[in-house]
């Protein structure tokens, strides 16, 4: 569907992207995840055609698009700040693409009407963008891109400008819409929750390089490197005594007890340094007698009531719940 081959892009001395290879399947909800400056936005702009790679190719449905100008690519982008046309109504904003494609007027009207239903904005078609709330503007931006029935829809941090509650609502909306229209979505985000909850598969980028690709579960449970492990969630990393390997133990796999590890369990003595009550869960920060920092996350009900800062207890885990990183430390 979307295939990136050996894609590289430099800006002066800065390497924005180094030899990226990636394939996104048809109808897939795919995310590019990474901290700012990791090359994810560069990747998106290369697919959209706003930037040209120094090396490598961009293929879409098997067609080489590397040299094609943006307006001739069958992809559409939802901009981070929406970039709605301020002088046009919602309807005209959405109709912009189909009109540029010179579709028949009846077809344009049908498509725009349909897509406005999908994003639930049919009542506001006559409004101007500045008369809409942030969430509504976001949906116009989505409709304006979807209406062209692109081979792939590109989304550049689409939810970043929204407040947290609205972000959660829009996340669900995004998922619903993607399932409804069945178009390939390529989402760029630095929000791991967003990437984990929305994606069929995701790629973690770091300093212009691809770290790992996989399903959210694979990446969370079996990351290849410490970078991926820590970027996808809180992580306890143990250096393996024998080899030079690093073992990952997610904080929710740790059990805090006063009794020693049972048969088949591993355990360490640790002292509580900090307790953070988070409603449904409690985050407990500890330090072991070998002076290693640990973090445990448990449901509030499971944490012993007498747990205090300074308490000493056992941190136990099942070795099967831990994961040996591929990449040596």
85 binding other proteins? (CB under 8 A) = yes
Q: Output 146 or 325, the one with its CB closest to other proteins.
A: 146
Member of 12, 62, 69, 279 binding other proteins (CB under 8 A): 69
Total of chain residues touching other proteins, rule CB under 8 A: 24
Q: Output 93 or 236, the one with its CB closest to other proteins.
A: 93
Closest CA to 307 of 290, 236, 315, 235: 315
Nearest distance from C-beta of residue 96 to other proteins, angstroms: 5
72 binding other proteins? (CB under 8 A) = yes
Distance CA 234, CA 225 (A): 14
Stretch that binds other proteins, among 70-78, 176-184, 258-266, 304-312 (CB under 8 A): 70-78
Q: Please tell me the chain's helix, strand, coil percentages from 3-state DSSP, rounded to the nearest 5.
A: 30, 35, 35
Stretch that binds other proteins, among 69-77, 177-185, 237-245, 291-299 (CB under 8 A): 69-77
148 binding other proteins? (CB under 8 A) = yes
Residues 6+ apart with CB under 8 A from 105: none
Stretch that binds other proteins, among 4-12, 46-54, 161-169, 210-218 (CB under 8 A): 46-54
50 binding other proteins? (CB under 8 A) = yes
Binding mask 94-133 for other proteins (x = CB under 8 A): --xx--xx--------------------------------
Nearest distance from C-beta of residue 29 to other proteins, angstroms: 20
Stretch that binds other proteins, among 33-41, 65-73, 179-187, 260-268 (CB under 8 A): 65-73
Task: Please say whether the beta carbons of 22 and 3 come within 8 A.
Answer: yes
144 binding other proteins? (CB under 8 A) = yes
Q: Within 10 A of 35 (CB to CB), how many other CB atoms are there?
A: 13
DSSP string, 214-264: E-HHHHHHS-SSHHHHHHHS--EEEE-SSSS-EEEE-GGG-EEESSPP-TT
Closest CA to 226 of 123, 126, 136, 323: 323
Stretch that binds other proteins, among 71-79, 182-190, 206-214, 244-252 (CB under 8 A): 71-79
Task: Please say whether the beta carbons of 73 and 49 come within 8 A.
Answer: yes
Nearest distance from C-beta of residue 71 to other proteins, angstroms: 5
161 binding other proteins? (CB under 8 A) = no
Residue 124 DSSP one-character state:
G
Closest CA to 220 of 15, 33, 29: 33
CB burial of residue 205 (10 Å; 0-12, 13-18, 19+): buried
61 binding other proteins? (CB under 8 A) = no
Angle in degrees, CA 89, 45, 230, rounded to 5: 110
Which residues form the interface with other proteins (CB under 8 A)?
48-50, 69-72, 75-77, 79, 81, 83-87, 96-97, 100-101, 144-145, 148
């Amino acid at each position: 569907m979307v295939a990136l081959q050996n894609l590289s892009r430099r800006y002066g001395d800065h390497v924005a992207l180094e030899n990226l290879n990636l394939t996104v399947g048809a109808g897939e909800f795919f995310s590019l995840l990474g901290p700012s400056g990791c090359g994810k936005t560069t990747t998106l702009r290369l697919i959209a055609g706003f930037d040209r790679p120094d090396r490598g190719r961009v293929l879409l449905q098997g067609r080489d698009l590397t040299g094609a100008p943006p307006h001739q690519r069958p992809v559409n982008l939802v901009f981070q700040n929406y970039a709605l046309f301020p002088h046009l109504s919602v309807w005209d904003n959405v109709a912009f693409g189909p009109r540029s494609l010179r579709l028949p007027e009846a077809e344009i009207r049908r498509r725009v009407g349909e897509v406005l239903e999908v994003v639930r904005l049919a009542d506001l078609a006559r409004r101007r963008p500045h008369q809409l709330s942030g969430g509504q503007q976001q949906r116009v931006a989505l409709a304006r891109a979807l209406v062209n029935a692109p081979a792939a829809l590109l989304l550049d941090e689409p939810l970043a400008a929204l407040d947290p509650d609205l972000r959660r609502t829009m996340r669900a909306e995004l998922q619903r819409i993607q399932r409804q229209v069945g178009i390939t979505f390529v989402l760029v985000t630095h929000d791991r929750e967003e990437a984990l909850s929305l994606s069929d598969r995701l790629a973690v980028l770091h300093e212009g390089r691809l770290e790992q690709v996989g399903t959210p579960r694979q990446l969370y449970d079996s990351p290849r490197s410490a970078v991926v492990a820590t970027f996808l969630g809180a992580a306890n990393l143990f250096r393996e005594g024998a080899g030079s390997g690093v073992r990952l133990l997610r904080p929710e796999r740790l059990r805090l007890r006063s009794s020693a590890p049972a048969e088949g369990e591993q355990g360490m003595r640790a002292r509580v340094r900090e307790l953070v009550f988070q409603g449904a869960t409690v985050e407990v920060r500890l330090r072991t007698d070998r002076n290693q920092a640990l973090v445990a996350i448990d449901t509030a009900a499971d944490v012993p009531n007498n747990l205090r800062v300074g308490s000493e207890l056992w941190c136990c885990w099942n070795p099967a719940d831990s994961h040996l990183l591929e990449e040596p430390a």
